[in-house]
Amino acid sequence: MMPAMKQRALSLRDLLLAILSGLLLTASFPPGKFSFLAWIALIPLFISLRDKRPHSAFKLGFIAGFFHFLTLLYWVIVVLGRYGNLHIAISLLALLLLSCFLALYLGLFSTLASQMVGTRFSFFFMAALWVSLEYVRAHFFTGFPWCLLGYTQYERLAAIQIADLTGVYGISFLIVLVNGLIFRSFFMKNQSERISLKWEWLFVVLLAAGTILYGFHQLAQKKVERQSEPLLNAAVIQANIDQSVKWKPSYQKKTLETYFRLSNQAAPLKPALIVWPETALPFFYQDAPAFSSQMRHFSDRIGATLLFGSPAYKRKNHQIQYYNRAYMITPGISLTGYYDKRHLVPFGEYVPLKKYLPFLNQLVQAAGNFVSGDRQGPLMKKDLSLGVLICFEAIFPELARDLARDGAQVLVNITNDAWFGTTSAPYQHLSMAVFRSVETGLPMIRAANTGFSAFIGASGDIFSRSALFEEAVLDQSVPISPSAPATLYTRIGDLFAGALVLISLLKLLAIFRMRMKRKGS
């Protein structure tokens, strides 16, 4: 981007550059092994934005965003079509509308970024603006923080340890900063920019070096701590139950037999905890005394706590409210602990605004009718505290933070990613779960119906994981601390992102006032 702001029509070259950025962004996310592309993915877009007025910049940003989200979230068609029983045309329309909505953020970024051109440390402010918009996307209209830019680096452990200070937003900030600085290095034109660039390079090099050094320090420290911490022997059961038959009443007995069979394989390992996935029991556990009796007997016989998912309901004010629930059965204890999912999937577990827009309920009849659970603390097993996240909840940092602040020693994520089929979504879902462990400094036990089940360390390292659409029994000795010290992120939350939102607003206000003065003169 250059200081000149003369109007120039969008050329085919500009459009192709914007599309290229969108595709490079998608390629940097899993399942591919091209996370390095994130560090250069925005450069084609920046090239296309040179000399563009705000409305042209918006168009190019929107186009880049549209192609990015269209190729990133293509699996929405699979979810809505194959499992939601919606017509392919409606599924495609839903994907297009979602891609257009999310593309608005990149369009807005490009519009506002074009106003920052020519200012000192412009790409610092652009990186702040990017994070600000990610933060808004993560919270606006229930929030959809799926695949924020920082998640591309989930396998680069040294680079992501700063998440225990800044959350995932710190990595997003650094990626955009590097993109901008590389661009300016190749497309600067005047001497004043060259002088400014020296200081910007110094700032970014120091920031990147500090990030990596901090990462290696944290990895080494956690490795030492892990050696002295007590171990929790745990097992994860992945039964690979076919989604098309899972909810048939005639298949319930076979489903339970499958889980018992696989759990018996883990019994010789003497696990203290066995985890089954979300809705492992496709019936109301609270109304199935025969099955619940078998579960308790099994738990007592092998001496392991069972944690599993099952739908539940409560009668309240002459109405029935349904919950997506995780139950915990502890040997020798008659009381069953449970956790109700707090953050539901819109159009999957409930229909937003259906009271005011009843036609939406007709369009998505396959959607559930669940209600959100109240905030609950971790599930307690004697001296062990388990923080449960159900499915989609693993992409929301604030939920894991709440559990960590309430004393959780281990995060347990139960999910049913069978809805995604063999698309890229299960890979993306796992990559985001990694950050919850880094942010909170807590290990995670992840049980999925069809994969990926996994054990994730407090540093984000994946100790073991299953394959997709296969039966699996995973076992691991998980290091836990009796009183794990809270990370800075656990204590202060998204203060870093909030500070960047404030900086962005102040910068835009300053630009606006300067433009008004120029017009006045």
Write the Ramachandran bin of 111: left for phi over 0, alpha for psi from -120 to 50, otherwise beta. Answer: alpha
Q: Are strands 384-390 and 410-415 parallel, antiparallel or unpaired?
A: parallel
136: phi > 0 → left, psi -120 to 50 → alpha, else beta; which?
A: alpha
- Report the alpha-carbon distance of residue 137 to residue 177 in Å, rounded: 20
Judged by DSSP in three states, 177 sits in helix
Please tell me the distance from the alpha carbon of residue 369 to that of residue 493, in angstroms, as a whole number: 31
Task: Mark whether 254 is an active-site residue.
Answer: no
Residue 390 three-state SS: strand
Task: Please say if 517 is a catalytic residue.
Answer: no
For residue 336, the SS3 value is: coil
391, 393, 439, 507: the catalytic one is 391
- Give the pair of three-digit tokens for residue 507: 């910068």
413 neighbors 445 (Cβ within 8 angstroms): yes
- Which of 521, 504, 496 lies closest to 115, judged by CA? 504
Strand 410-415 to strand 444-448: parallel, antiparallel, or no bridges (unpaired)?
Answer: parallel
Residue 305 · residue 328 · CB < 8 Å: yes
Distance CA 513, CA 515 (A): 5
Distance CA 99, CA 237 (A): 35
Residue 183: what residue type? F
Angle at 323 between CA 320 and CA 325, to 5 degrees: 145
The answer to whether 276 and 256 have CB atoms below 8 angstroms apart is: no
Catalytic residue among 59, 222, 341, 381: 341
100 is catalytic: no
d(CA 207, CA 253): 57
From 414, 425, 360, select the one nearest 391 (Cα to Cα): 414
Q: How far is CA 492 from the centre of its chain?
A: 19
Work out whether the CA dihedral 184, 190, 191, 193 comes out positive or negative: negative
The arrangement of strands across the sheet holding 319-329 comes to 337-340, 319-329, 305-316, 273-275, 231-238, 472-479
Could you tell me if residue 317 is left (phi over 0), alpha (psi between -120 and 50 degrees) or otherwise beta?
Answer: left
Residue 508's φ and ψ, nearest 5 degrees, are -65, -35
Q: Which of 278, 349, 393, 439 is labelled catalytic? A: 278
Q: Return the C-alpha torsion angle 157, 162, 166, 172, nearest 10.
A: -50
Q: Which residues are catalytic?
A: 278, 341, 391
